[in-house]
Structure 1
Amino acid sequence: MAKNTRTQPWNTTDIPDQTGRTAVVTGANSGLGLATATALAAAGAHVVLAVRDTERGEAAAATVNGSVEVRRLDLADLASVREFADAWHGDLDLLINNAGIMNVPEGRTKDGFETQFGTNHLGHFALTNLLLPHITDRVVTLTSLAHKSPGSPRIRFDNLDLTGEYSPIPAYSQSKLANLLFTLELQRRLTEAGSPVRALAAHPGWAATNLQGHDTSPLRRALMRLGNRLIAQDSRAGALPTLYAAVQDLPGASLVGPGGMFETRGAPTLVGRSPAAADPATARRLWTASEELTGVTFPESTAAVQS
């Protein structure tokens, strides 16, 4: 038997040939999304940059070598999500739910949901289910270490919008916990339907992107800038867990993150999640609530989710 002589950690050069495959990456005009799109296009995939600001998206696409296009998608507006999905024709090999906002001031999406929960979770929930009849391989949804931050994040079913008790950090943590519970229940439903499509999640550790720049606290923004210089990975390294989840042969519902220094940085590997993020009963309850809020449901027919 040949020995495994590999000494270098997994990186973008290990991505298999993606020629003939199509990927959608949400929030791909900067940061992790752009790094993900760039790597997939370099490997031969046709990549759709799904972005709210198409002018910025076109500028980002101009920096990518390979086959790319830009389409408008505003995850904070369910009408925009439906418009994007309705315009899709043909197979979609890979959906990467990358877009997100973090620690922003209290606000509401166009449909009246708390902004972080509405954008990070409900927008991607609706998008995934609407595109699912076209998806042939997998869905990768980005979460965060914040899903298990101090204070035991949980889904506030009694007050999902945190009305009257909004705080940016707990709101962000709730949305990132929701991303993992969504992945867990999506995989259960896909398996039950006999679909070959897999649902996985990834977190980037601590990556230096512009995500932290919208924090409501000037002190936290300053601390994050310092951490970005001293601790964080750059966006290309931060995108590796997403790419690993997108192209490696992994079990459904897996979570990929950095393997070093408390999962803040390092080569991508399978990592654990909080007990709250692994609770199937909570995952089912969140799915039901998400269907009621968005009006979007899982395509029940097995044929509808198979290529």
Structure 2
Amino acid sequence: MNSQNAWIITGPTSGIGRRTALELAAYGTVVLVGRDPAKLAVVEQQIEARGGQAVPVVADFSDVGSVRRAAGEIVALGLQIAGVLNNAGIFPLESRTTRQGWDLTYATNHLGPFAFTEALVPHLPDGANVVFVCSAVEDPERRPAVMAGFRGARFVSVEASVRGEWKPGGSTRPGLDAYATSKQGNLATVLAFARETPRLRFNAVEPGFSPGSGLSRDAGPLLVFLSKYVLSPLAPMIKYWSTPKRAARVIAEVLTADSDASGVYYDERGKPMLGSAQVRDPGFSERVVAETRAFLATVPAAP
């Protein structure tokens, strides 16, 4: 792999994202995109201590204007971008809103990465790989997810999702519906973009349930402790589970693979898998993309 290549990763300061950023440092310059400058600096230092190169770029993925500015900063760097990893994501258990009044989870997990990718696509060289970290909780037939309280994605429309409104019959915790629907949006984006833009590669990874990833930080201190120190060591022995280290390795392999594969959804072991019946319908994924574009077109350009 050309050491001059650059790899963009969002959400690189903790959990799977931090591990993946460190993995990618072996393949070239790593562009670290996140909202906390101090935490970005720590990962930058860790990469440089290993002899790698990193460039921090600040962006808040709940804010479309911030995301678009960050994409512009990256383009201005003039790097040879080989791949983009949309990893940034949140999972609050209850409903929260952005300063614009949008559902925080849907904005951060779907709208932000979508706008970021759209801003970068015209500047990516042929063959570049764009990977989204997705989640099988979008599938109502995924039994482990159902046992955990999920009821699959509850998509009504993009505008309804922005308002935090979900199809009836969902989870007792609105945060679960928001998360599942936002991750379905990621997968729909991958599948539709792969068909739209064959000069690039668009793929998705389900990293497996990683109790040590720290994704759900508001689950309570006891559960967070148990997840990190009790459940995480057991993860490699349980189907559909993983660890941040193993997930990072799989994600990095998919992102840097010398392959023409596009529109593929990989599981926690790097094997192709299927999303929900709904998201596999091309008409549905194209609708999600069209509605997302229409909504983002109403968001004023960054000053």
Aligned-pair identity in percent equals 25
Residue 30 of structure 1: aligned partner: 14
The one-letter amino acid of 1:199's match is F
1:75 is matched with 61
Deviation at 1:239, TM superposition (A): 1.4
Q: Distance in 1 between matches of 2:182 and 2:114?
A: 11
Q: Residue 10 of structure 1 aligns with which residue?
A: none
- Structure-1 residue corresponding to 2:274: 272
Q: Equivalent residues in 2 for 1:8-47 (5 A)?
A: 17-43=1-27, 45-47=28-30
Q: Is the 8 A contact 1:50 1:73 kept in 2?
A: yes
Query: What does residue range 69-218 of structure 1 map to in structure 2 within 5 Å?
Result: 69-87=55-73, 88-89=75-76, 90=78, 91-136=80-125, 137-148=128-139, 149-150=145-146, 151-157=151-157, 159-160=160-161, 161-163=163-165, 167-191=174-198, 196-207=199-210, 208-215=212-219
How many angstroms apart in 1 are the aligned matches of 2:223 and 2:103? 21
Contact 1:47–1:67 (Cα < 8 Å) also in 2: yes
Deviation at 1:230, TM superposition (A): 2.5
More displaced, 142-151 or 156-165? 156-165
Distance 2:30 2:165 in 1: 38
Which letter does structure 2 place at the counterpart of 1:147?
A: E
How far is 1:202 from its partner? 0.6
Give the letter for the 1:113 counterpart.
Answer: W
CA distance in 1 between partners of 2:137 and 2:44 (Å): 30
Q: Give the count of matched residue pairs.
A: 267
How far off is 1:163 after superposition?
4.1
Counterpart check, 1:288 vs 2:290: yes
Partners of 1:187 and 1:58 in 2: how far apart? 33
Residues 214-263 of structure 1 show CA distances to partners (whole Å, capped at 9, x for unaligned) of: 34x778657745433422533110112311221221521101122xxxxx
Measure, in 2, the Cα distance between the counterparts of 1:63 and 1:129. Answer: 30
Q: What do the CA deviations read for 1:146-187 (whole angstroms, capped 9, x no partner)? A: 122432424221721334987111111111111100111111
Of residues 262, 269, 287, the one that matches 1:252 is 262
Q: Which moved more, 1:45-54 or 1:139-148?
A: 139-148
Distance 1:141 1:276, change over 3 A: same
The answer as to whether partners of 1:129 and 1:296 remain within 8 angstroms in 2 is: no
Deviations 1:269-303 (A, max 9, x none): 22222212211111111112111221289xxxxxx
Deviations 1:61-107 (CA, angstroms, capped at 9, x unpaired): 21122011111011111111111122222342211000100134311
Unaligned runs of 5+ in 2: 140-144, 236-240
Paired with 2:9 and 2:298, the residues of 1 have a C-alpha distance of 20
Letter paired with 1:276: Q
